[in-house]
Amino acid sequence: MATRAPFLTTRYGGYHHRDVPQEDTELTHVGPGTPCGEYLRRFWQPICFADELRDLPLRVKILGEDLVAFRDFRGAVGLLELHCPHRGTSLEFGLISERGIRCCYHGWLFDVDGTILETPGEPITSTLKDRLCHGAYPTHEYNGIVFVYLGPPEEQPPFPMYDSFSRPGYRLIPGPKYSYPCNWLQILENAMDPIHTAFLHTIVSGSQFTDEFGKIPELDFAETPVGMIYMATRRVGDNIWARMVENVLPNLQQVCPIWENGHQEHPFSGPMMSRWIVPTDDTTTMLIELRHVSAAPGATPAWWANCDMAPGQLPADTYEAGQRQPGDYEAQVSQRPIAIHGLEHLGATDRGVIMFRQRLRQGIYAIQAGQPLDGLCREAGKLIPTYCNDTVVRVPPAPTAEEDQHLMRTTGRKLAESYLAHPPLLNGH
Ligand code: FES
Ligand SMILES: [Fe+2]
């Protein structure tokens, strides 16, 4: 199978361009044993909200694995292989118990760590339960979200604490959880593709955020210790508005306020949202948000604290409405169930997408070589610096458009470099 389509140079040349190359399996396939699947499994991943675990078991799927989640009467959270090890009945029909979950078919009882506590139909002398375990994964609850570690037990890292999670004057609330019928990578790459905020979200579909997003930004990108940021700088009167969105390896993005318009000078704003992009399988992805809500009245809009959906994120109400005013959902899902990199023609504005893919590949290769992973913190409780923010500074325009573009880029770059040298959130901003 071809990995790249030919660069088509003939008019009316569709006939020469019909072969569809295979997807980039190294970055897009996530099941057990795949390169990217093994990489993603080295990091804690969100699986559901804590309050979804009530009186009935919850069937879940992550990275192609079918699992059941539950909270037993003691309060312990279990995440087990979906199918009972006896004869395969799904534990989504099980009975949550004082300790663990009991299969509905023949009553085997499983603790949250996979210990088989009872095999009630077996002879009293049976030692089967003492010799066998059921598949289980460790979980961790944080701010209303249940996280799971799906990797090799001996490699389990501590739960990561980013500096944006403990910011003075802000609280974290669980936001919406939703699903896109496409591969995880094209959703995450969107955050390193800042020019789409001008086209998709403003010029094409009308202002989905603020009108100022419609100015074509100057673009720059920088690696951080745990991922990368983009710097999109825009001229707003006598101000330069620098917007920095962040991808934290491997699949967390931090997005700054979409209500920003660049008119008021202000320092580093921090993120409005931390959102994990979690593959359910190769062609379905869960997005789950933690929202950053300021304690200062009016600093974050009421609709944000109420967990209303941000504009442009869900599918339009009808197909026609989606054609008339497409948003992120239409743009990303329509790239195909798995976007085909061999059909792309990347340009100067795609530098962030290219950089992000490179960083993922480095992580995948590091695992294969047994080397430490960027973005994986091994020190429990250590605050990990992050850099997502808007900053608006008063810098009057340069005499020519070209000089002003240069001024915007250098202003954004200098701000980013100063934040990378002294992370504002880590220093109590
Ligand atoms: S299939 Fe679960 S106990 Fe028999
Ligand atoms: Fe978007």
- Which pTM does this prediction carry? 0.96
In this prediction, residues 306-323 reach a mean pLDDT of 92
Interatomic CA distance for residues 311 and 328, integer angstroms: 9
Whether 121 lines ligand 1, by a CB cut-off of 6 Å, is no
Per residue in 376-393, pLDDT (tens digit) is: 999 999 999 999 999 999
The set of residues, in sequence order, having a beta carbon less than 8 Å from that of 14 and lying 6+ positions away, is none
**What pLDDT is stored for residue 2 in this prediction?**
54
Q: Nearest C-alpha to atom 4 of ligand 1 is from which residue?
A: 106
Whether 84 lines ligand 1, by a CB cut-off of 6 Å, is yes
Q: Tell how strand 383-384 and strand 161-162 pair up.
A: parallel
Percentage of residues in the chain with pLDDT exceeding 70? 99
Amino acid identity at 314: L
Per residue in 29-53, pLDDT (tens digit) is: 999 999 999 999 999 999 999 999 9
Ligand nearest to the CA of 89: 1
Q: Nearest C-alpha to atom 3 of ligand 1 is from which residue?
A: 106
The set of residues, in sequence order, having a beta carbon less than 8 Å from that of 90 and lying 6+ positions away, is 59, 68, 82, 83, 84
- pLDDT category at 407 given cuts 50, 70, 90 is very high
**What pLDDT is stored for residue 297 in this prediction?**
87
Ligand nearest to the CA of 311: 2
The set of residues, in sequence order, having a beta carbon less than 8 Å from that of 284 and lying 6+ positions away, is 61, 179, 180, 181, 182
Q: How many helices (H) and strands (E) does the chain have?
A: 10, 20
Percentage of residues in the chain with pLDDT exceeding 90? 95
Instruction: Please give the structure tokens belonging to residue 185.
Output: 């990578």
The set of residues, in sequence order, having a beta carbon less than 8 Å from that of 240 and lying 6+ positions away, is 233, 234, 262, 392, 393, 395, 407, 408, 411, 412
How far, in Å, from the CA of 199 to the mean position of ligand 1?
55
How far, in Å, from the CA of 76 to the mean position of ligand 2?
38
Interatomic CA distance for residues 251 and 191, integer angstroms: 11
**What pLDDT is stored for residue 429 in this prediction?**
65
The set of residues, in sequence order, having a beta carbon less than 8 Å from that of 123 and lying 6+ positions away, is none
Ligand 1 atom having least distance to the Cα of 121: 3
Per residue in 116-129, pLDDT (tens digit) is: 999 999 999 999 99
Mean pLDDT of the chain: 96
| Burial bucket for residue 64 (CB in 10 Å: 0-12, 13-18, 19+) | middle
pLDDT above 50: residue 1: no
How far, in Å, from the CA of 322 to the mean position of ligand 2?
14
How far, in Å, from the CA of 414 to the mean position of ligand 2?
25
Ligand nearest to the CA of 110: 1
In this prediction, residues 392-417 reach a mean pLDDT of 97
In this prediction, residues 198-227 reach a mean pLDDT of 95
Which strands make up the sheet holding 58-62, listed edge to edge? Answer: 58-62, 65-71, 77-81
- pLDDT category at 293 given cuts 50, 70, 90 is very high
Q: How many CB atoms lie within 10 A of CB 155?
A: 12
Of 89, 95, 109, 128, the one to substitute when testing ligand 1's pocket (max ligand atoms within 8 A of C-beta) is 89
Of 103, 118, 134, the one to substitute when testing ligand 1's pocket (max ligand atoms within 8 A of C-beta) is 103
**What pLDDT is stored for residue 301 in this prediction?**
94
Whether 86 lines ligand 1, by a CB cut-off of 6 Å, is yes
Interatomic CA distance for residues 70 and 130, integer angstroms: 23
**What pLDDT is stored for residue 289 in this prediction?**
97
Cβ atoms of 47 and 146 closer than 8 Å: yes
Ligand nearest to the CA of 189: 2
Per-state percent for the chain, helix, strand, coil, to nearest 5 = 25, 25, 45
**What pLDDT is stored for residue 298 in this prediction?**
85
